[in-house]
């Protein structure tokens, strides 16, 4: 099993992430047509609670596995790397089982706490999936620690394909028993998807579990760690991440309760209208989540490399890799934010028709994408240099700011659900500033986010103008023969495709992308880049 560079690993995970997110968005309009807008709000509420249980189970230990394995491999302690995985796997089985039971038992209490009583059955149906995801996450963490992102990427695609198909199938089959049962039926697809990913990862592991060591390794005496030492290290790495992500998602859970209760008690909405409004907010967040998965893929690819370099005490190498990771982050996040803002209305009409209300949230809140992306990379850097609790503390401040902002702004009738967008902004601005100050001071490196963002900003501005012009022109030309949904769909897709090439051309002209970047990309992806762009890259 070959180790991949950060760029190649990022490219592989990015392709998979895009495909996964496209599939996750494509099935939503069909699901909404099957169960309706109100039931979709129930479904979304259940997934908020599931997401909280998921991150408590799967956020810490898998990242700890990735970090621990990459460090041990860098130090050529191969036996300990394998032992680290096996101990972590057993630990995750125990945690996954416990969390699944707790989620099932306390489903009613969780639903009542979040003003989502109609989501109880869906929460109960999602509980077994937590156990399956704990196994999946363990294997993904191990492969990422070995620097190979392909198993993670393929498993994600398998998981989402199965999820997409069986969610629609079971939601439709169970609809005759009522909306609440239909929502619960739809969640079966999530369990089947996780099971498929689990089977695939176990098979790949069995075929590739032997680590090829360099010649002469047996002649070198390496320190060995006891099971207790490895377990302690895994907990030391994993616990602060669980606390950090858990508190962030606990904030989301509290946020769910606050947003819904404020809409009901302060604004005066009915429970049914509140469910619909929360569904709109969920649509906005899901669409925002498409490019965020790319940044998450970048973070997953960068963590083993950064951790290994830090373990070797290569400060200059660490500085170069941090700057390179931030540059890639800006190259991806900024054009996505601009594109989603400029085409907010057409994209929501395309994906969420006939309920495209969330475009106003995206028009205003696309900047959250950039803020979230920067914080994700900053958190990865802090995790790689063992400042785990610090990143947790900074994120807690952001979550508190978000809760306060949402409570105040969502209760204003003119703002209502829009107030939650401002809450998201505050949630990331606070840790972004704190992380930036600490990273620059503690590592004593030259890091300027604006410097890395400048060329993508210029290229994205050009792209934004072209994209909007193409959409309006195509929509007008097509209106003579095609109207309605298909007019918007064709014009929107054409604008996105031309926008992608315009952005890449702008990057090539400004020097935002180099030949080194292109050479590091997988050949299967690189051949889709037009030669006119490649020829402009220095």
For residues 193 and 13, give the distance between their C-alpha atoms in angstroms, rounded to a whole number: 18
Contact at 8 Å (CB) between 70 and 303? yes
pLDDT at 211: 62
Please give the average per-residue pLDDT across 490-503, as a whole number: 94
DSSP letters of 416-443? GGGHHHHHHHHHHHHHHHHHHHHHHHHH
Give the residue with greater pLDDT, 205 vs 471: 471
Tell me the chain's radius of gyration from C-alpha atoms.
23
- Could you tell me which of 387, 394, 399, 402 has the C-alpha nearest to residue 432? 394
What is the C-alpha to C-alpha distance for residues 383 and 59, in angstroms, rounded to an integer? Answer: 12
Highest mean pLDDT: which range of 121-135, 154-168, 265-279, 461-475? 461-475
Percent of the chain with pLDDT over 90: 25
Mean pLDDT is lowest, of 10-19, 374-383, 461-470, for 10-19
C-alpha distances (whole Å) from 278 to each of 48, 265, 288, 350, 365 are: 11, 15, 15, 20, 16
pLDDT digits (tens, 9 = 90+) for 362-377: 999 999 999 999 998 9
User: pLDDT value at position 532?
Assistant: 73
pLDDT confidence tier of residue 249, bands split at 50, 70 and 90: low
Query: How do residues 289-318 score in pLDDT, each as one tens digit?
Result: 888 888 887 887 787 778 778 878 888 888
Residue 263: partners with Cβ closer than 8 Å, 6 or more residues away: 269, 273, 274, 277, 278, 410, 416, 417
8 A C-beta contact, residue 355 and residue 319: no
**Residue 464 above 90 pLDDT?**
yes
Q: Where are the beta strands (DSSP E) in 461-519?
A: none
Q: Using 50, 70 and 90 to split pLDDT, how confident is the model at 386?
A: confident
For residues 154 and 200, the answer to whether their CB atoms sit within 8 Å is yes
Average pLDDT over residues 383-394: 81
């Amino acid at each position: 099993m070959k180790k991949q560079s950060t760029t190649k690993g990022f490219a592989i995970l990015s392709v998979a992430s895009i495909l996964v997110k496209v599939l996750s968005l494509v099935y939503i309009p069909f699901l909404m047509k099957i169960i309706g807008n109100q039931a979709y709000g129930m479904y979304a509420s259940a997934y908020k609670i599931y997401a909280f249980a998921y991150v408590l189970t799967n956020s810490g230990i898998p990242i700890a596995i990735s970090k621990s394995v990459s460090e041990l491999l860098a130090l050529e302690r191969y036996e300990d790397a394998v032992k680290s995985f096996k101990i972590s796997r057993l630990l995750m089985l125990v945690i996954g089982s416990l969390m699944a039971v707790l989620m099932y038992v306390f489903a009613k209490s969780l639903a009542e706490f979040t003003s989502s009583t109609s989501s109880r059955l869906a929460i109960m149906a999602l509980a077994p999936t937590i156990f399956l995801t704990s196994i999946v996450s363990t294997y993904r963490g191990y492969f990422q620690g070995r620097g190979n992102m392909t198993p993670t990427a393929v498993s994600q695609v398998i998981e989402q394909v199965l999820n997409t198909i069986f969610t629609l199938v079971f939601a439709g089959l169970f609809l005759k028993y009522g909306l609440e049962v239909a929502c619960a039926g739809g969640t079966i697809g999530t369990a089947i998807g996780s099971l498929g990913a689990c089977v695939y990862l176990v098979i790949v592991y069995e075929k590739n579990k032997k680590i090829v060591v360099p010649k002469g390794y047996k002649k070198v005496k390496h320190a060995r760690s006891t099971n207790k030492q490895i377990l302690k290290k895994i907990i030391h790495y994993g616990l602060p991440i669980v606390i950090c992500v858990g508190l962030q998602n606990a904030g989301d859970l509290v946020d769910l309760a606050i947003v819904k209760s404020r809409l009901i008690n302060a604004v005066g909405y009915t429970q049914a209208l509140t469910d619909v409004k929360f569904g709109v907010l969920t649509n906005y967040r899901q669409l925002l989540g498409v490019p965020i998965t790319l940044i998450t893929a970048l973070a997953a690819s960068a963590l083993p490399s950064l951790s290994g370099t830090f373990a070797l005490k290569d400060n200059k190498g660490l500085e170069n890799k941090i700057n390179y990771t931030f540059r890639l982050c800006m190259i991806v996040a900024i054009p996505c934010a601009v594109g989603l803002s400029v085409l907010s209305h057409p994209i929501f009409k395309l994906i969420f028709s006939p309920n495209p209300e969330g475009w106003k949230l995206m028009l205003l809140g696309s900047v959250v994408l950039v803020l979230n992306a920067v914080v994700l990379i900053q958190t990865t850097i802090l995790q790689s240099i063992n400042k785990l609790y610090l990143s947790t503390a900074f994120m807690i401040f952001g979550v508190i700011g978000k809760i306060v902002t949402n409570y105040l702004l969502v209760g204003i009738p003119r703002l209502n659900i829009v107030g939650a967008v401002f809450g998201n902004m505050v949630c990331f601005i606070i840790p972004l500033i704190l992380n930036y100050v600490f990273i620059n001071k503690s590592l004593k490196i030259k890091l300027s986010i604006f410097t890395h963002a400048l060329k993508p900003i210029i290229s994205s501005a050009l792209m934004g103008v072209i994209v909007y012009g193409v959409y309006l022109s195509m929509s007008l030309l097509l209106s003579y023969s095609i109207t309605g949904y298909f007019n918007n769909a064709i014009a929107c897709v054409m604008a996105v495709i031309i926008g992608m090439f315009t952005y890449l051309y702008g990057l090539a002209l400004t020097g935002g992308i180099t030949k080194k970047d292109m050479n590091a990309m997988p050949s299967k992806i690189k051949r889709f880049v037009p030669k006119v762009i490649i020829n402009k890259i220095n």
